[in-house]
Amino acid sequence: MNDKQIVVLVSGRGTNLQALIETTQNGYIPGKISLVVSDNPQAFALERARRASIPTLVLDYDSFPHKRAYEDALLQVLEKEDPQLICLAGYMRIVGKRIIMRFRERIINIHPSLLPAFPGLEAQKQALEYGVKISGCTVHLVDEGMDTGPIILQASCPVEDEDTVESLSERILQYEHQIYPQAVKLFLEDKLNVIGRRVFIKKE
């Protein structure tokens, strides 16, 4: 039953990881998190994983001589683990081409904007500075581009006149915690049909 494995890559506080922990543990997602990998030894996400008795691994980016060496180590770990799905959850690095090729259509990411608007870093700040009235979040498959892969789910929310980067980020985050588990569930239930850029959700 519960044999589908998910590896989660993190860099920071891990609230999206927490949402995935809770929804795998309560059975909403038909799978389990087999490993949490962090490129940052200080990430609070590691503590969240440990509290949930999930194995963790730190690949401290700064301890590698160059990006290729880091990617080699990460690829080796992922090949050994060979999960059905790799979830990026606040993972603040671009995944290298070799990993994407090896795990094509098995890596997904959550991004705090309505893509294709505001890819990359500080999406919420970009949205405020641009002056949009609606923002939100996107779960997408990861391809070689920066936040360019086929979109699985999106949720929108208003941008209020009084918003700061913090308040907007917090509002968007509430939606992230809903649509990320939803997307992971659909993926593991094999309900996604990817045709070109479009991801269709199979009907019952």
State the residues that interact with ligand GAR by CB under 6 A. Answer: 12-16, 89-90, 110-112, 123, 173, 176
- Choice between 77 and 94, CB closer to ligand GAR: 94
Candidates 66, 111, 140, 177; catalytic one: 111
Structure tokens at 62: 């700064």
Torsion of CA 104, 136, 169, 150, to 10 degrees: 10
Shortest distance in whole angstroms from residue 3 CB to ligand GAR:
26
Least Å distance between CB 7 and ligand GAR? 15
CA-to-CA dists, residue 127 to 117, 122, 136, 163, 177, angstroms: 8, 9, 10, 11, 20
> What's the closest the beta carbon of residue 202 comes to ligand GAR, in angstroms?
26
Beta-carbon neighbour count of residue 122 at 10 Å?
A: 14
β strands within 11-100, DSSP E: 32-38, 56-58, 85-88
* Shorter beta-carbon distance to ligand GAR: residue 15 or 25: 15
Best CA proximity match to 71, nearest among 100, 49, 42:
100
Rounded distance between C-alpha atoms, residue 169 and residue 173, angstroms: 6
CB of 79 to ligand GAR, least distance (A): 24
Please check whether residue 168 is in contact with residue 124, taking contact to mean a CB–CB distance below 8 angstroms.
yes
The nearer residue to ligand GAR, 110 or 192, going by C-beta atoms, is 110
CB closer to ligand GAR, 80 vs 113: 113
Peptide bond into 116 cis (omega under 30): yes
Cα separation, 152 vs 109, whole angstroms: 10
| Active site (annotated) includes residue 140 | no
Least Å from the CB of residue 109 to ligand GAR: 7
Residue closer to ligand GAR (CB basis): 4 or 177: 177
Q: What angle is formed at CA 17 by the lines to CA 16 and CA 21, rounded to 5 degrees? A: 120
Q: Which residue is nearest to ligand GAR (CB)?
A: 90
The residues annotated as belonging to the active site are 111
